Amino acid sequence: MVTAGAPCDLSVIVPVYNAAATLERVAGEVLALQADGLRCQVIFVDDASGDGSAGVADALADRHPEVLVLRHEANRGAGVARMTGWPHVTGRYALFFDADDILHGDVLRLTVERMEAHPEVDTAMLAYRYERGGRNTGIEMSYSDTQVYRGLLAAGSPAIGTPGEMGALLMVTNYPWNKVIRVAHFREVGLRFGTTHVNNDIRGHWEMIVKARRIMLSDEVICTHLVDPEGQNITNRFGAERLQMLDALGDLYGLLERDPDLRRREAHRFWGLAHRLYLWARERLEPEVVPRFDAGWAALIGRIDLGDYTELRVRHAPELADALANHLLGPQGS
């Protein structure tokens, strides 16, 4: 047993917004790892919940010295909540988890053991499983994510590679909870999630990959992601708040603009991801939001580096280059 502020092996940071019903389960899943000798810290960051989540978290902290509770006075989004928790991490490894998902503790423990054996690995990325509408659908990952994993794991799982070798991972869904990171390394190089309410995990996802010295990829499932198609969470909202998706993408592109080598290497993946998200969101938007969304998308495309656009057209994805030009100039663009 450790106290929440004492050095430990693993810290799990959990943004909390109206998740009173699941906090005890999540804390229990993490703290159960201590039976195997893994010293753990749980950091709950209450993001101005209105359902009594703060009281549940406080009660857990009273019973378990390993639990730390932080809180926001106003709702600021999961990305900001994660960054609120980050300075309080005392573990050698960290996982950013969600309050309403199911943690596969055996895989988490094994991942920490593997990272201990491979000190050059700063990020371990695992698989996930979906459960939709309260029933297990048997879907382990999205089709596109599965294809990326299979390509990178063709020689076996787990696989270790550089960010350049593992660059295809930048295109998978930007979930935060399928990656375990080495805290000392990311304290040194920096780590930041976005500040938007939607798509705030894009920035953190990319940084955990491009700033790592080595990445370990495994097809073992670390999380069951619970999806409620009728729920009121941000994922299911497509009003004006979805405009923030373009702010999140613009923030990420700023990271590439400040690092020309990274931009030259990965700009084609950024624009592929951005275009995919644009199409996904646009077909779901409330009609009155579409004109502003299209204008924001055109403004983002207007930032593209001409050399990177040429590379996109000539080497990587000419059809995507045409699509970006058409958005900016109309069908006559080239």
Q: What CATH number does the domain containing 74 carry? A: 3.90.550.10
Are 109 and 36 spatial neighbours (Cβ–Cβ below 8 Å)?
A: yes
- Cis amide bond preceding 158, omega within 30: yes
Q: What is the pLDDT of residues 284-320, one digit of tens each?
A: 999 999 999 999 999 999 999 999 999 999 999 999 9
- Domain assignment present for residue 58? The answer is yes
pLDDT surpasses 90 at 151: yes
Per-residue confidence (pLDDT) for residue 305, from 0 to 100: 92
Q: Do 251 and 215 share a structural domain?
A: no
Q: Do 215 and 88 share a structural domain?
A: yes
Q: Do 255 and 178 share a structural domain?
A: no
Per-residue confidence (pLDDT) for residue 258, from 0 to 100: 96
Q: Do 231 and 242 share a structural domain?
A: no
pLDDT surpasses 60 at 94: yes
Q: Do 209 and 78 share a structural domain?
A: yes
Domain-ending residue, one of 235, 255, 290: 235
Task: Tell me the residue type at 145.
Answer: D
Q: Do 173 and 103 share a structural domain?
A: yes
Domain count, the chain: 2
Mean pLDDT value across residues 202-209: 98
Are 79 and 201 spatial neighbours (Cβ–Cβ below 8 Å)?
A: yes
Per-residue confidence (pLDDT) for residue 137, from 0 to 100: 54
Q: Do 218 and 287 share a structural domain?
A: no
Q: Do 197 and 149 share a structural domain?
A: yes
- Domain assignment present for residue 1? The answer is no
Per-residue confidence (pLDDT) for residue 334, from 0 to 100: 40
Q: Which residue has the tokens 């382990």?
A: 140
pLDDT surpasses 90 at 153: yes
Question: What whole-number distance in Å separates Cα of residue 203 and Cα of residue 41?
Answer: 24
Mean pLDDT value across residues 64-71: 98
Mean pLDDT value across residues 39-52: 97
Are 122 and 187 spatial neighbours (Cβ–Cβ below 8 Å)?
A: no
Per-residue confidence (pLDDT) for residue 232, from 0 to 100: 46
Residue range of the domain that includes 289? 237-329
**Residue 124: closest CA among 92, 101, 151:** 92
Average pLDDT of the chain to the nearest whole number: 93
Domain-ending residue, one of 235, 262, 279: 235
Q: Which residues are bridge partners to 160 per DSSP?
A: 216
Q: Do 225 and 104 share a structural domain?
A: yes
Per-residue confidence (pLDDT) for residue 5, from 0 to 100: 86
Mean pLDDT value across residues 110-128: 98
Per-residue confidence (pLDDT) for residue 132, from 0 to 100: 76
Secondary structure class of 298 (helix, strand, coil)? helix
Q: Do 187 and 61 share a structural domain?
A: yes
Strands 135-136 and 40-47: unpaired
Q: What is the pLDDT of residues 220-277, one digit of tens each?
A: 999 999 886 555 455 556 889 999 999 999 999 999 999 999 999 999 999 999 999 9
